Amino acid sequence: MRNKCLKIVVFLLLITGVIIGLNRSIHQKTNWEILKMENVEALTSPEEENPYYPCVSARGFCFMNGIDIDGVALKIR
């Protein structure tokens, strides 16, 4: 009997936690202006120039993360 009551209490606590979490996420305010501006900035950025990838298309190779990649060369700044 005690084991059954413990299971019921744990189940009710779990359901209560899920309901509280859903309630908080539903009523959370979202700043849509910031999200829209970040989306516009992402759409206007050029796809060809990626500052996080130092290799450019050329004849040669690029050695990144231990991988030799054919057909690209390291950009020298």
- The ranges assigned to domains in the chain are 1-45, 53-77
Predicted confidence (pLDDT) per residue in 26-37, tens digit: 887 777 777 777
Q: What is the pLDDT of residue 37?
A: 74
Scan for tokens 């290799």, then name that residue: 55
Task: Return the closest-CA partner of residue 54 out of 42, 66, 63.
Answer: 63
Helix (H) or strand (E) holding 63: strand 55-64
Q: How many Cβ atoms from other residues are within 10 Å of residue 62's Cβ?
A: 19
Q: What is the pLDDT of residue 19?
A: 95
Q: What is the pLDDT of residue 45?
A: 61
Helix (H) or strand (E) holding 23: helix 2-26
Q: Model's pTM, two decimal places?
A: 0.39
The low-confidence residues of the chain, meaning pLDDT below 50, are 66
- Amino acid identity of residue 49, one-letter, is E
